[in-house]
Each structure stands twice: as structure tokens, then as C-alpha cells.
Structure 1
Amino acid sequence: MSTGKNSVRYWRDGVRPLEAMQANFHDHVYCPHSHDAYSFGITDAGAQRFRCRGAQHVSAAGMVMSFNPDEAHDGRAAAELGYHYRIVHIGQSVVRDILADASDGRSPALPLFASPVLTDRTLTEALGRLHSALLGSASDLVREELLTTAVLTMAEHGATRAPRLRTLAGTQQRAAARRARAVLDEAPLEPVSARQLAEAAGYSRFAVYRAFRAEYGMAPSDYQRLVRLRRARRLLTDGVPPGRAAASSGFADQAHFNRWFKRAYGLTPAIYQRSAGHRNHS
């Protein structure tokens, strides 16, 4: 949506309290308001001035605005050039569910942030990756993994004590990872969720995620994409046009397929197919 000097992109989960927005504001002024969720705004360019906790604050490029649930604040551009920022709203129930899943069975306290402006690179990167996945074409599995990472990073950097994370013993870890991989191998084109992998492995979502990374050096979503890329590569070798190979291998579109194929193998699908002696017909 664009209104004069201001433009906005918005995404909202249809089931749980999770939202993301990307905005370029020049003359927009937020009135005092609050959210019933955790809100994290990454300032990418320019600067935003806002009042929170009885004081004025400025979030410049590279900084993160952090608002606890029900924490009142306003906002406007700090200069005439305006500002560009990305914000994620994560509901308290989502945070509570992820922390409980990742902890050792206790019900951890929800984190509270002591400062409304943070300069934390690790948290900024985790939130940025989550935001890109939510507004992009990422799968549900990718979004779930990045959401878990962002929430746990948030908890570690919050004012309250971070939860004690659940770990599996060596044999349990291997078994959990293998069961999860079997699900991905058996249904490479299905939209598998983190909850389905957890149910198949018999452990929590986070425990399975950690076990998978420890055993195979990548997240379950990375492995799922690799299985799909291997399938697509076999189709290309058989002479199937790249566009059809992408659609038949679970990729959202050919551009998405081309990007990941090149990142994995160093060349485009078309070049790979020509090297096998097949002409590209798409």
C-alpha cells in the first residue's frame, strides 16, 4: 500500500498472533498506542523518534526498537528524509509456547526488555531473517524454524533469565534426527511442519531441530530444500524444462528455484541442463 510519501507492506498469520510490516515513512505520525504482543522494529535507513517510558528515544539505522506487550509509545520521522523500517509483532501465546517447548519442562517466565532501543547484532539478524521469511515465499517449516530462533534469541537478550534449553542424549539425538529425516525423505513435496517432525521423532519441536542440526549440519528446512533440489536436478538431467522441473519439485516459482539451485550448485538450472546435452525449452 502506498499513500503519497509513505508505503507499507503487511503480512498476518491467519491462525496465531504473528504479524510483520515493512514501511517507508516520511510524514506519518503514530499516535500513542500499544500492542498486546512483543514488537520489534528494525530501522534500516533514516531514524525514528518516539516517546516511551516517559522519555524520548531515537532509533537510527542498525538499531532495534523493542516494545514489551502493552507498552505505550508513539513515533515519527526524526528528520525530513523519513525512515525505512521493518517490524515484527509476536504474540505472548506464541512466545510462551516456544519457550515451553524449548525448555526442560518448566514454565519459563516471559522475557521483559529493559530498554526500548537495542543495538544487538545477533538479535537484529535473527529478527531480520524472520521478517524476510514472513513477507517472502518461505515455507511454513522455514518460518517456524526462524520464529523459534528469533524468540529464543529474544529471551536470551531479555531482562529476565533465559530458559534452560532441552537437550537430548547421543542415542536419542541420532534417533530423533533420523526419524525426522525419514519424514522429509518420504514426502519431499509435502508442506511438512515442525510439529509433524516432532510427533514423528517423539520429542519437542526444538529438541528435534537441535538434533537435526547436530547430526546433519543443517536445519530440517535446509534438508527439505536439498531433497527437492536433487529431485529437480534429476529431472533436468532427463531433459525436463527448468520451469516444469521447478514446479514438479516443490518450488514456488522458477525464480525461487533458480536462486536456490545456483546457491547450492554454483550455476543456473539452464546451464546445468545444457551441460548434460539437453536444450532448454522453457
Structure 2
Amino acid sequence: MRAHFTRHVFRPHSHDAYLFGVTESGAQRFRCRGAEHVSSAGMVMALNADEPHDGSAAVAPGFTYRMVHLGPEVVREVLGGAALPLFDRPVIDDPALRRALLRLHHALAGGAGRLVRDERLAEAVTAMVRGAARRPGRPAHAVGQGRAAGATARRARELLTAEYARDIGADELAEAAGCSRFALYRAVRATYGVSPSELQRLVRLRAARRMLAAGTPAAEAATACGFADQSHLSRWFVRSYGITPGAYARAAGRAGE
């Protein structure tokens, strides 16, 4: 994706992939991990999969960026099955990574051959790993609590993912997760940075995105994915991704040609 925004405000959302962006001009302001960050021209934004963030222009002229989404399975394949990198800094001043990401973006957007795309992908992932940092360790009891909360949240997410179109209540979700409704809320919030209802919406948006890319009409995708109607889907799609479902479908169609 390459885009310029001036007044658009991204609502808090996350992606099921690594998100790497290069700010080409202006500056973007966003909140992530409880703090505000600014990416100005030449900086790299590096977000881990499922990391909640928002976004808006930090200067009146707005900002232009190039963005690349890399699924964890793609990164793992490039690394030969090695442990996935985690990024502690949402904004990075790394010229080598910036150049590698721009080269990858140009190859993907410019219709380069498969071999060139794979080579640029390997270059970019290598540059990413070189600048990656592990999260600091935590006390043993905190690790245990975090693992328990993570397992609870994952069980809830599995149900939401499997039955994203159905109106699942808090009691049913908590029962599937093996905890109370309030414990479920805390676990999902601690693990994914969003509430269970917001997680459900993100799962539905991702399902709709897949259907749109496969050629399903927006109205049909909206109904199939649990949205009230096409306008409901469009409203949240724009808030989360910055483009309309129709624009995304057209772009996905061109990419598949």
C-alpha cells in the first residue's frame, strides 16, 4: 500500500501480520503500547502481528507512506523455521531497513518477477531481523500469569474466528474460554490490547477482506461476516484500513492478474 492522508484518523485496530511502513513525507502520529510515537520522513514503523495501534497526521500537510504487510508464516519460512523476531520500538531510524523495505515495496507494486520478489523479501526480512530486539524478561510468576491469560484469550479467539458471522454472547465466549466474563475481558485486553467485541470486529474485518480479495461483492461479504449491512462494513473497513471495501477489492483484483 502507498497512500497519503491528511485528515483521516485510524481507529485503534491491529493486523494479523507484521506491519512495516516507510514514511516518505510529512509525519504520522500513533499510539502503540501505551505511548505516543511519531514517524517522520525517512523513519520506519515496525509493528508486530496483533499489535493494536491508531494513527493520524502529525502535521497539517499530512503524511505519505509505503506499507508492507508480512504474514508471520512468510517471515518464518524466510528464516528457515527460526524463532520469529519481536520489535520493541514501533519507530526505527534504520537506513538499511528503510532501503530494503522500499526495494521490496517497489518489486511488489511494480509487478517484478517472482524471483526478484522473493529475493527482495529475503533482503527485507534479513534487515528486519538484524534490527529486531527481544522483549525484556519478566518475573517467573508474571510469566505464568501471562501464559494463563494468553491461553484464555486464544481459546476465545478460536471461537470468534471459527464462527465470526454468529452473534456470540459474553457468557458463551467465557464458557468456551473457561473463565468468567470479567476474567475473559482482562485476558483478551492483556493479550491483544482490545476488548472481546473489538477482537470480534477485527476477526470479521479480516474475513471480509479475504472474501473481497476472492471477488465476493461487498454486500454479500458484509452479511456473511456478521456486519449489519454493507454500509456498516464500509464504515469499519475505512476506519481500520484507510480505504473502502470496493477500493480494496479492485486493488486485490489487479494484484491477482
**TM, length-normalised to structure 2:** 0.51
Aligned to 1:128: 102
Aligned to 1:146: 120
Distance (Å, rounded) in 1 between the aligned partners of 2:97 and 2:18: 14
Matched, 1:111 2:85: yes
Provide structure 2 residue ranges, at least 5 long, that are not aligned to the other structure.
Answer: 136-257
Distance (Å, rounded) in 1 between the aligned partners of 2:70 and 2:111: 19
Distance (Å, rounded) in 2 between the aligned partners of 1:55 and 1:49: 11
Find the residue that maps to 1:125 and give its secondary structure: helix
Deviation at residue 98 of structure 1 after TM alignment: 0.6
Aligned to 2:33: 53
Distance (Å, rounded) in 1 between the aligned partners of 2:111 and 2:77: 24
Find the residue that maps to 1:41 and give its secondary structure: strand
* One of 25, 43, 54 as aligned partner of 1:63: 43
Which structure is larger by alpha-carbon Rg, 1 or 2? 1
Deviation at residue 153 of structure 1 after TM alignment: 1.2
1:130 partner amino acid: L
Distance (Å, rounded) in 1 between the aligned partners of 2:82 and 2:112: 29
- Structure number with higher helix proportion: 2
Distance (Å, rounded) in 2 between the aligned partners of 1:136 and 1:115: 29
Q: Is the 8 A contact 1:110 1:160 kept in 2?
A: no
Distance (Å, rounded) in 1 between the aligned partners of 2:102 and 2:45: 13
Matched, 1:80 2:54: no
Q: Is the 8 A contact 2:88 2:134 kept in 1?
A: no
Deviation at residue 160 of structure 1 after TM alignment: 4.0
Find the residue that maps to 1:97 and give its secondary structure: helix
Q: Is the 8 A contact 1:109 1:160 kept in 2?
A: no
Matched, 1:89 2:69: yes
Deviation at residue 61 of structure 1 after TM alignment: 0.2
Aligned positions of 1:210-221 closer than 5 A: none
Deviation at residue 69 of structure 1 after TM alignment: 0.6
Aligned positions of 1:218-237 closer than 5 A: none
1:45 partner amino acid: S
Deviation at residue 132 of structure 1 after TM alignment: 0.6
Distance (Å, rounded) in 1 between the aligned partners of 2:9 and 2:114: 34
Aligned positions of 1:1-282 closer than 5 A: 21-100=1-80, 107-160=81-134
Deviation at residue 155 of structure 1 after TM alignment: 1.1
Question: Can you list the C-alpha shifts for 1:133-186, whole angstroms capped at 9, x where unaligned?
Answer: 11102111110100011011111111149xxxxxxxxxxxxxxxxxxxxxxxxx
Question: Can you list the C-alpha shifts for 1:191-232, whole angstroms capped at 9, x where unaligned?
Answer: xxxxxxxxxxxxxxxxxxxxxxxxxxxxxxxxxxxxxxxxxx
Distance (Å, rounded) in 2 between the aligned partners of 1:135 and 1:160: 31
Provide structure 1 residue ranges, at least 5 long, that are not aligned to the other structure.
Answer: 1-20, 101-106, 162-282
**TM, length-normalised to structure 1:** 0.47
Q: How many positions carry a matched residue from both structures?
A: 135
Deviation at residue 80 of structure 1 after TM alignment: 1.3
Find the residue that maps to 1:129 and give its secondary structure: helix
Distance (Å, rounded) in 2 between the aligned partners of 1:160 and 1:83: 30
Q: Is the 8 A contact 2:38 2:58 kept in 1?
A: yes
Report the aligned-residue RMSD: 1.2
Distance (Å, rounded) in 1 between the aligned partners of 2:65 and 2:11: 17
Q: Which ranges of 4 or more aligned residues in structure 1 deviate by more than 6 Å? A: none
